[in-house]
């Protein structure tokens, strides 16, 4: 299977280049992080510069990395699945001698490469020129961050794929996708650092998957997490990734057994 990936990735890269305008547009929808940052800065200013241990620079750093994470882990396989089933495009994909998901994965990787071309310069410029931005650039931290990024993507991709599979049974998948996204937006730390939530919510979020799709990686790169906590975090992240992977595999098998295609 891995031998097919170079070809798949080349085709995906060519496809994604065609969508470069759209990709910039999708990135714009993550501008809410910037809006929330401005409000936190204004709250910090009104409270002698510090809110709950976060100074202005900490807020900028947090939202910068959280925004980068959001863009480097964006997934949309569920939308493709929904449209593919509704328009009958899934059927020819099933006839190919490989699982259709490999096409989704390779497209996602190619799109991530394209997004990185915009995300990396923004992070570099802000880190260099905005005072107060503190990122822990030590090798071990960066490696841990990279690993957590892959883990976050893994949870997001397979949970998104799972929501897409509902398209085999209902035409209202869009509502399911957006509900999952809305919950994720709040609970993963994309609109506010999780440290700002009430303690009870934080305890619950420690065990739920959401933190491990965004906030966890930010905490690593800002040096707010280390040692045993770090390993525990990786363990929970891996468990959730495995959970969504296995469940979506099972649901896929059940779905295919009952599937009668549009146009058949």
Partner 1 sequence: MVKYIKLLGVFIRASLLTELEYRANFIAQIFLGLLWAVVVWVSVLIFFAHTTTLGGWEYAQVLIVVGMFSLINGLIECMLAPNVKRLIEMVRLGTLDFVLLKPVSSQFMTTLRYTRFNGIGDFSAGVLTIIYAFGQMTYRPSLEAIVQFACVFLMACLTVYSIWVFIATASFWLVKVNNLTELFRSIYDTGRFPITTFQGGVRFFLTYVMPIAFITTFPAQAFLGKLDAATTLTSVAIAAITFIASNRFWNFAIRNYSSASS
Q: How far is CA 54 from CA 17, 28, 114, 196, 211, in A?
A: 39, 26, 32, 9, 19
Span near partner 1 by CB under 8 A; candidates 121-129, 147-155, 194-202, 223-231: 194-202
Residues from 71 through 110 that contact partner 1 (CB under 8 A): none
Cβ 30 to partner 1 shortest distance, Å = 9
Span near partner 1 by CB under 8 A; candidates 4-12, 34-42, 99-107, 128-136: 34-42
First to last CA, the chain: 29
* Residue among 26 and 234 whose Cβ is closer to partner 1: 26
Angle between helices 101-129 and 139-165 (to 10 degrees): 140
* Residue among 56 and 106 whose Cβ is closer to partner 1: 56
Q: Does 199 bind partner 1 (CB under 8 A)?
A: no
Paired tokens of 47? 């409270």
* Residue among 87 and 229 whose Cβ is closer to partner 1: 87
For the chain, the helix, strand and coil percentages under 3-state DSSP, each to the nearest 5 = 80, 0, 20
- How far is residue 194's CA from residue 201's CA, in Å, rounded to a whole number? 9
Q: Does 172 bind partner 1 (CB under 8 A)?
A: yes
- How far is residue 229's CA from residue 148's CA, in Å, rounded to a whole number? 13
Q: Does 31 bind partner 1 (CB under 8 A)?
A: yes
Q: List residues near partner 1 by CB under 8 A.
A: 21-22, 24-25, 28-29, 31-32, 35-36, 38-40, 42-43, 45-47, 51-52, 170-172, 174-175, 178-179, 182, 185-186, 191-192, 196-198
């Amino acid at each position: 299977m891995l031998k097919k990936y170079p070809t798949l990735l080349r085709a995906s890269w060519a496809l994604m280049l065609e969508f470069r305008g759209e990709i910039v547009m999708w990135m714009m929808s993550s501008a809410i992080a910037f809006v929330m940052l401005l409000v936190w800065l204004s709250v910090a200013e009104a409270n002698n510069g510090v809110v709950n241990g976060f100074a202005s620079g900490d807020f900028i750093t947090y939202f910068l990395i959280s925004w980068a994470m959001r863009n480097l882990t964006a997934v949309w396989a569920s939308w493709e699945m929904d449209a593919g089933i509704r328009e009958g495009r899934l059927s020819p994909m099933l006839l190919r001698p490989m699982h259709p998901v490999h096409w989704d994965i390779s497209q996602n990787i190619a799109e991530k490469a394209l997004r990185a071309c915009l995300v990396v310069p923004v992070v570099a410029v802000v880190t260099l020129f905005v005072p107060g931005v503190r990122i822990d650039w030590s090798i071990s931290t960066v490696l841990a961050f990279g690993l957590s990024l892959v883990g976050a993507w893994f949870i997001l991709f397979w949970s998104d794929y799972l929501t897409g599979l509902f398209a085999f049974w209902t035409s209202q998948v869009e509502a399911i996708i957006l509900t999952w996204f809305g919950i994720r937006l709040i609970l993963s730390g994309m609109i506010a650092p999780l440290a700002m939530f009430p303690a009870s919510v934080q305890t619950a979020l420690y065990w739920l998957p959401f933190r491990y799709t965004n906030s966890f990686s930010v905490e690593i790169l800002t040096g707010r997490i280390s040692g045993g906590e770090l390993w525990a975090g990786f363990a929970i992240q891996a468990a959730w990734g495995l959970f969504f992977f296995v469940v979506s595999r099972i649901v896929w098998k059940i779905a295919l057994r009952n599937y009668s295609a549009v146009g058949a």
